[in-house]
Amino acid sequence: MEPGPWGVCEETAILHGGFLLAARLTQPRPLRELRKADWPRVGPPITDALGEIGTRCPSPLQHSLWKKEAVAIVWAKVLLPAPPAASLDQGWEQDDFFSVGRMIPDLNHTVLFELVKALGAPQLFVQLLLALPRDVCRSELEHLVEYIAGETSPSDIRFFLDVWWEVMKHKEGQEDSTVSMFSTLIRQHGCETSLDDGLQPPKRFKGDPGSLNDTPAATSLLMVLIEGLKQTYRSITLPRMKCYALANLVELLSVFTELEPESSPLPVTEYLDKISCVVSLWTRDTESQFHHRELDEKVKEAERSLNLLSMVRLSREELFVGLGFLCSLLHAWEEELQGTLNSSEELCYETYRFLDTLATFGKKLVCFSESRDLGEDETYVVLELTQITKRFLKEISVSLKGKDLDASLVSSVAMTIIEQKLDRHVEMCSIFVSEKTWAFSKDWVDCLVKNKALFQKPELVLKLLKMLVNFATSRQDKEAQELQMQVTKAIVECYTELSLADKNKVISGVLASWGGPGLSLNLQVVMEGFQEDLNVTFNQITKSVSDQGLTRAVASVARLMLLYPEATVKQVCNLAVVNLGAHQFLAQILCSFPALSFLETHNDPGRPCSLVVRCLEEAVWGRISTVREEEQFLEFLAFLMQPSSAAPLVSPAEVTKAFVLPYLKSDSAQIELSLQILSKVLGVQSCSEEHWIKSCHPFPLLLSLCKLLDGYTKYWHQPRDQLFPSLETKDLLQNILCQLCEVVRPETVPSPELWVQSLAWLHRKVALLDWTIGLRLKKLYGDHFKNEVPATLFEICTLPEDEWTSQPLPAYGLGSGLLAWMECCCVSTALRETMLTLLTVNVDNPEEVNLFSKGFLVALIQVLPWCSHSEWKRLVHVVENLLERQILHVPYTLEYVQYMPLLNLRPFACYLQFSVLFLRGFQLLCSSSCSTWLPAEAWLHVVQLYCSTMTDLLGSIKNTAGPPLHPAEDRTSTQEVSFICIQMFCHLLHVAAMLPNKECGEPLVVVALEILSQYEAFSSADTSPSNTLRRANERHFLESITDNVGDEALRGTLLQKLSKLGARSAGEPA
């Protein structure tokens, strides 16, 4: 039966029997008058009763609880004698202790103290003592001192010193139910206590029983202990007990006074050594009360002895009383103890503790004397005590570390602290993961597996991983592999429970230690099944991008990232490119691991390289095969450089050095993708004051781009088997050059002098290239260099000489001014507007206008094949501007007009002239004089530019005319638009008929069909009476023109379209 709250049970009945037998043995005196000398005769029945209760308890813990219960009952009986008979009726109802109290005869302190001595239970005695009200507690301790001081025996001395030691080791807040009930019981009866018992009723009772913080009562409690030693020290004869007494006194004066500085705790290794040493001493010492205890009990007790808490401090006066007493004791016992200690082969615990505390005390004394303002008498005491302490320790030859401290014992102690979660178990985990000599023993592995939760810290996981790798490289046998598996599993489980930030710390450590391969470099167990695990994990992620939360996906990848970072990153990079639509989600996953911004050195510390960039190079670069993959790669890269809510994983500089600089050659297969990447990175804002472009050799980079741009001047004459970026890339290249001129500023070079030198170097190099390239660098050049153009440009422009200068160019002879002017218009929108403003044409001189118009057409045809789409759009704007200003003369002939149209064509004159200008241009371009000028592949580009302009013209015509209206609404320029569409259609077919390359038909078909669709929309909206006849005549005319087209595919498609127009026209009402 378990002990109840003072309830009567089988165990209390046995205890009752023991006391009845003891009471008979004391007759005729009652037990409350028992003397110390009578205990050997009277005590056995009581201790036998407790022994019998112990045999009935199912566990040692239950037995210890009953010991405490018995001592509490006895002590309560001592403090609370039997109530008068008149209160019996009330006692049954109100007093929880009534039943048990009536069973036990009245007792005195002799029974209490001798019982506790017999049980060897000073700790539980102190627990109950300190649960008493303050005044009662002090009184009871004084009773103990008085008891010990009379007829003192060696066992009395031991008991007193044990109680003292337990008082100092006591920690509040660890009271069990028995202690709490005992405290409550005494407090409930406190005011009723008879004054004859020597117990003054306390003025008030605190909720925190016996708190050591209550001064001055708490410090007076400590002084009672010192007073007790003063009264009994002459009875201490054994050197061992003298060391014990001195250790207690020194510890009290060290910890519970102002000598104790606000210092940090012992280093954990020293702390472990001390506990191990104490355990070792107890294990060897057969006289120690802890000799037969299990290891975990020894470790717990040793830890208690090292973790004294200074809850209260003696006053300065009390301190010096204690110091004076200590000084006299050391003087009295010095010679005897020195002789005993030096002649002893081994330390016992008491001597070890005395020497250890004395050494610490000596250091504190020195600090105290140096940091406090002491009086003359105080200085004398401190100085004398310091000298005697030094002298005593100097004469002692024995080592405090003990002999042959077994390494296996130290490891067992550490593991016990961890498993029992004792006070400094967290710090002990750091030693556990660092001591290579302990690692991978059976106990070590068991401790790790059982206590995984304690190792869930990034620094511990990292140390365990290093330990694991060291073990794996030193042992490869079957047993070692099994241990590896166990430990790897435990470590991965610890890692899995970490926060994402802590996981990144671990990954950083793994990369710093083993680089990209991570653990796979040395752990074969990691590689077993890894690839399958990798594939399964990413299959699940990529199949449910929209459903699976980012947190879950990151958690899945984190484990793979720990085991084999490089392979995991490569898998992410590869899937980001080939898996449609998954690139942004995968980029988010990757950016969740900022640890991957790790820089590898690869035996070249001066040129570190990003792990992620290398993985991109090896897993993706050179394998991109479709436009979609290129787009995903670019977006993936952009996200890594500028994630929405994380730190960038790669820098623009790293990307530029890896994917741009090595490939800026016209014959590189990756040149176009590299330029797209460069455009992306230039759009990334610099995170620091110093722009990232500074580290990417900006001036050589500019020169490389200029050389690429220069290559376009020979674009159509490059060897067919030679790689060169397409004309579509020319616009991108020009934009990049413009972006670079914006970001490359004087701040991007170390000094102003170097900036000027760099500009001069670039200017010299660019002077060897096409002259228009220098114009593109004007923003970079600033006022350092003027715009250098062919001299003939000055013939048609009024160029300010402070900004412009001429240079002799053999290719630009007489009459080439318009060509140079038009090339300037292609460079940029701003320069185009400048050229239009500075152009000088005398419109009052017919001959000059005619010459200008003919020269313009020739120059336009010369420039057209080399134009990119953006350049051509700028020239189209030039044509429109000159036509609107009537500087450019384009007469409109009537070759495709059957009759004089009585229409208002003035709003559309510019579009008609533009169409005719194109026709005249192609007539010149396709003439015999120019037949060999362009290679076959150039014609498709020319036709594409022409078709894009015709499409834009159609849109402009529609905007000018407005949408075709329904019959009920006002008539608009439907006939005019229909007429213009017919003219453009005829001009288009004329151009198609002249083209030497018949493979250019597809874009022409598309535009021709667009023209016919627009014609149909506007002609069908015409509600005039003659509309039906006019549409029939126009359709017949269009069919006759189309019949003459030589290209069968083009002719067939257009006739089919015209037949549908005719069918709809026939179905309309007349």
Closest CA to 382 of 369, 367, 391, 395: 369
For residue 505, the one-letter residue type is K
Rounded mean pLDDT, 554-583? 93
Q: What is the distance, to the nearest Å, from the Cα of residue 466 to the centroid of all Cα atoms in its chain?
A: 21
What pLDDT band is residue 19 in, cutting at 50, 70 and 90?
Answer: confident
Residue partners of 705: CB distance under 8 A and separation at least 6: 664, 733, 736, 737, 740
Tally the residues of the chain.
Answer: 1070
The pLDDT assigned to 192 comes to: 42
The pLDDT assigned to 45 comes to: 92
Least confident of 25-29, 542-546, 552-556, 711-715: 542-546
pLDDT tens-digit readout, 650-662: 999 999 999 999 9
Residue 996 to residue 682: CA distance in whole angstroms: 42
pLDDT tens-digit readout, 845-860: 999 999 999 999 999 9
The pLDDT assigned to 303 comes to: 93
**What does the radius of gyration of the chain's CA atoms come to, in whole angstroms?**
51
Residue 1034 has pLDDT above 70, yes or no: yes
Hey, what's the torsion of the CAs at 61, 67, 68, 70, to 10 degrees?
Answer: 140
The pLDDT assigned to 193 comes to: 40
Report yes or no: 171 and 117 within 8 Å, Cβ to Cβ.
Answer: no
For residue 572, the one-letter residue type is V
Residue 253 has pLDDT above 90, yes or no: yes
Distances (CA, A) of 27 to 23, 31, 101, 977: 7, 8, 21, 140
Residue 955 to residue 945: CA distance in whole angstroms: 16
Residue 149 has pLDDT above 70, yes or no: yes
For residue 39, the one-letter residue type is W
Q: What is the DSSP string of 1024-1055?
A: STTHHHHHHHHHHHHHHHHHT-S-HHHHHHHH
What pLDDT band is residue 84 in, cutting at 50, 70 and 90?
Answer: low
Residue 421 has pLDDT above 90, yes or no: yes
Closest CA to 366 of 387, 397, 343: 387
Least confident of 492-496, 583-587, 865-869, 959-963: 959-963
Highest-scoring range by mean pLDDT, 309-323, 534-548, 591-605, 782-796: 782-796
Residue 929 has pLDDT above 60, yes or no: yes
Residue 204 has pLDDT above 50, yes or no: no
Rounded mean pLDDT, 378-386? 91
The pLDDT assigned to 969 comes to: 45
What pLDDT band is residue 196 in, cutting at 50, 70 and 90?
Answer: very low
Report yes or no: 511 and 565 within 8 Å, Cβ to Cβ.
Answer: yes
**Residue reference for tokens 């994380």:** 646
What pLDDT band is residue 607 in, cutting at 50, 70 and 90?
Answer: confident
The pLDDT assigned to 701 comes to: 95
Residue 429 to residue 426: CA distance in whole angstroms: 5
Rounded mean pLDDT, 576-590? 91
**Residue reference for tokens 């990144």:** 504
What pLDDT band is residue 598 in, cutting at 50, 70 and 90?
Answer: very high
The pLDDT assigned to 14 comes to: 85
- HSE-up (13 A, CA, CB side) for residue 101: 22
Which residues on adjacent β-strands are paired with residue 788? 805
Least confident of 6-20, 199-213, 264-278, 736-750: 199-213
Helix axis angle for 239-255 and 349-371, nearest 10°, is 30
Residue 48 has pLDDT above 50, yes or no: yes
Residue 967 has pLDDT above 50, yes or no: no
Element (H, E) at 893: none
Rounded mean pLDDT, 613-626? 93
Residue scoring higher pLDDT (195 or 167): 167
Residue 113 has pLDDT above 50, yes or no: yes
The pLDDT assigned to 760 comes to: 96
Q: What letters, b where the CB count within 10 A reaches 16 and e where it falls short, cover 379-403?
A: eebbeebbebbeebeeebebebebe
- Residue 892 tokens, joined: 């409109």
Per the omega criterion (within 30 degrees of 0), is the bond before 28 cis?
yes
What pLDDT band is residue 199 in, cutting at 50, 70 and 90?
Answer: very low
Residue 286 has pLDDT above 80, yes or no: yes
The pLDDT assigned to 627 comes to: 93
What pLDDT band is residue 708 in, cutting at 50, 70 and 90?
Answer: very high
What pLDDT band is residue 480 in, cutting at 50, 70 and 90?
Answer: confident
The pLDDT assigned to 646 comes to: 81
Residue 58 has pLDDT above 60, yes or no: yes
pLDDT tens-digit readout, 305-360: 988 887 788 888 999 999 999 999 999 999 999 988 888 777 899 999 999 999 99
Report yes or no: 1051 and 1043 within 8 Å, Cβ to Cβ.
Answer: yes
Look over the chain and give the mean of its residue pLDDT values, rounded to a whole number.
87
The pLDDT assigned to 207 comes to: 33
The pLDDT assigned to 8 comes to: 60
Closest CA to 224 of 124, 121, 147: 147
Closest CA to 649 of 691, 565, 568, 590: 590
With pLDDT > 70 as the criterion, what percentage of the chain qualifies?
91
Report yes or no: 53 and 11 within 8 Å, Cβ to Cβ.
Answer: yes
Least confident of 288-302, 482-496, 559-573, 712-726: 712-726
